[in-house]
Structure 1
Amino acid sequence: MGEFTIIGLRVVREAGRCGSFSTAAENLGYTQSAVSRQIALMEQAAGRTLFERHARGVRPTDAGRIILRHAETVLAGVGAARHDLDDLVARPPALLRVGAFSTAMAALVPRAIATTSDRLARVPLREGTSPRLLAALARGRLDLAVVTATPNLPGDLALESLLDDPLLIAVGPGHALAHRVSVTPAELLRNERWIAGSTESNSTLLGAFGDATWEPDIAFVARDWFAKLGLVAAGLGVTVVPGIAVPVLPPTIALVRIDHPAAVRGTAVVYRPGAGVAEPRRIFTEALRDGAAELSAEVRQRLR
């Protein structure tokens, strides 16, 4: 038994509409023999006669009417697919306004932009703290934001988790921990001088694994990551870095895992449902998920 084909179904449909093989051939730009051959192939595929031949034309059999009905559905689907492909070429790629916190801008977001560059025309970026990004989303100034996971979302925003990002200790090459794989919070809280973005430990990554009584010895306050890492490399203290920043850290910095379940930071995508950019948002979020998986593997590799 043969196979149904698009050409064959199109010929069957036209013959059914016209009631004549010769008229179908004329309408389709085929020879009559070509039409007869296609009809014969479709009858072979169906295992039944599709048309009753008469002196004044043809008429579909019961089997022919079934094939005609399905031919309409199949050919409509093929036409819709062609229309969508033509529309894809004619329509300029979409624009998506993206915000992210600073360390997500280091590797996670750039990788997502690179992998979606053929489908998204532009991805205007905005860097900021998670609260500021959420406020911008709520006001309609962003389409999507990569933030540290938060249970309290303003307005009608929706959240999708990306990863639980491990927090790591960055130390200089001569530090006593430089060749360690992991360290307990007790060791860190007891001995270290810290480089942090603020003197208030609860407002920094230091608050993730310390207890309420701990007062860290903050030797230097530096908001810029290059400044923090420069101070660490010089042996002037240690700092906490998120795992997603690992690919951009210099080889002079050693990384140590914090042996504590709270030493992670949730990272998520937040957006406004129904904001008119559902498809670009889906494309970019999938790229972020792929990038998050790659970064997690790179962190594991570097900590071996």
Structure 2
Amino acid sequence: MAWLDVFRTVAHLGSFTAAGERLGFTQSAISRQIATLEGELGVPLFDRLARGVRLTDHGRALLPHAEALLERLDTTRRDLVALTELDAGRLRVGAFDSANAELVPSALAAFRAAHPQVEITLTEGLTAHLLDRLAEGAIDLAVVASYAENPQDAYDTDQFDLHPLLDDPVLVALPRGHRLAGRRRLRLAELADESWIAARRHPESTLLAACLRSGFQPRIEYAVGAWTAKLGLVAAGLGPTLIPSLAARAVRPDIALIPLHPQDTPVRHVCTATRRGQRTPPAAEGFTAFLRAGANRVSGAER
């Protein structure tokens, strides 16, 4: 392409010397590059005159093609710069449901305000599903969570790079009229006689799983999956449920959220996940900074 740029400049200026001055080359360097291009194409492009040069028929035929190719290259370069500077492109994010209560939406809103030309898509699902989507290349970045002390141990570290965002302690949701709703902190033992609300009847596959290590054995009476259903049952006085701190802003006003004693508190470790060994797209890399800012705000509010 550099040869074509030299050729175009010489064609417009009619002089090797003038083209060299325009492009920052010596007259002899311009002459060599034109000779190389002529050798590559196998045709003469200029008649060398006593004063300057003139396009041959082959040169006149080449000129519009050269200009079109150079314009296409300029457009390509502009498109690449736009992707790098986030003036174009796409952002494909996946996140679990309670991260979508506040953390991810606020980060997406800030990112969109800063980079309105980037196309955004959001996929919601459980961590295992999000990692499958990430491995398939259907999303570029996932916000995932694990109760494991080291989240890297919970996932396939050969496929993913995990970077911590925040720790998300679990709270107890009680109806405002509950006898313990005014407490500043609770022990699980104080709720041993309650009928619990959880996603499933087996606590090992719910938020209550992390409580089992302390010997707490909840009696799950209502098994519902959606947060709106869980909180509706809590508000009706049918039992407590656990809710992540990330979802606290979405809780209805007739429900009280009470922290657990540190010895009883399950803590989720929230991370970003990207595909290992593959370059993270510029938009996903840029979005991570907004996620971290949001995570810092959430962590500060919890303290």
Question: For this structure pair, what is the TM-score category when the shorter chain's length is used for normalisation?
Answer: 0.5 to 0.7
Deviations 1:149-174 (A, max 9, x none): 33233342100011110100010011
Task: Check 1:112–1:87 CA distance in 2 against 1; reply closer, same or farther (3 A cut).
Answer: same
How far apart in 1 are the matches of 2:88 and 2:185?
46
Is the 1:243–1:296 Cα contact (8 Å) retained in structure 2? no
Q: What's 1:133 paired with?
A: 130
How far apart in 1 are the matches of 2:81 and 2:138?
28
Q: In structure 1, which of residues 261, 286, 289 is the aligned counterpart of residue 289 of structure 2? A: 286
Is the 2:174–2:255 Cα contact (8 Å) retained in structure 1? yes
| SS class of match (2:162) | strand
TM-score by length of 2: 0.66
Q: In structure 2, which of residues 166, 178, 181 is the aligned counterpart of residue 178 of structure 1? A: 181
Is the 2:234–2:241 Cα contact (8 Å) retained in structure 1? yes
| SS class of match (1:286) | helix
Task: Check 1:133–1:284 CA distance in 2 against 1; reply closer, same or farther (3 A cut).
Answer: same
| 2:212 is the counterpart of 1:217 | no
Is the 1:146–1:267 Cα contact (8 Å) retained in structure 2? yes
TM-score by length of 1: 0.66
How far apart in 2 are the matches of 1:277 and 1:122?
16
1:55-66 correspondence runs (5 A) = none
For residue 207 of structure 1, report the CA deviation from its aligned partner.
1.3
Q: In structure 1, which of residues 67, 89, 94 is the aligned counterpart of residue 89 of structure 2? A: 94
Q: What's 1:107 paired with?
A: 102
1:1-304 correspondence runs (5 A) = 87-88=81-82, 92-117=87-112, 118-119=114-115, 121-149=118-146, 150=151, 151-154=153-156, 155-188=158-191, 190-211=192-213, 214-261=216-263, 262-273=265-276, 275-300=278-303
| SS class of match (2:282) | helix
Give ranges in structure 2 of 5+ residues lacking alignment. 1-21, 23-76
Is the 2:188–2:216 Cα contact (8 Å) retained in structure 1? no
Is the 2:181–2:258 Cα contact (8 Å) retained in structure 1? yes
% identical aligned pairs: 39
Letter in 1 for 2:134: L
Root mean square deviation of aligned Cα = 2.6
Task: Check 1:169–1:212 CA distance in 2 against 1; reply closer, same or farther (3 A cut).
Answer: closer
Deviations 1:169-203 (A, max 9, x none): 01001111211111112223x22211100111011
| SS class of match (1:187) | helix
| SS class of match (1:116) | helix
| SS class of match (2:118) | strand
Q: What's 1:6 paired with?
A: none
Q: What's 2:47 paired with?
A: none
How far apart in 1 are the matches of 2:87 and 2:279?
16
Q: What's 2:7 paired with?
A: none
Q: What's 1:3 paired with?
A: none
How far apart in 2 are the matches of 1:234 and 1:216?
19
Give ranges in structure 1 of 5+ residues lacking alignment. 1-26, 28-82
For residue 105 of structure 1, report the CA deviation from its aligned partner.
1.1
Letter in 1 for 2:100: M
For residue 274 of structure 1, report the CA deviation from its aligned partner.
5.1
Deviations 1:28-78 (A, max 9, x none): xxxxxxxxxxxxxxxxxxxxxxxxxxxxxxxxxxxxxxxxxxxxxxxxxxx
Letter in 1 for 2:135: A
Letter in 2 for 1:225: W
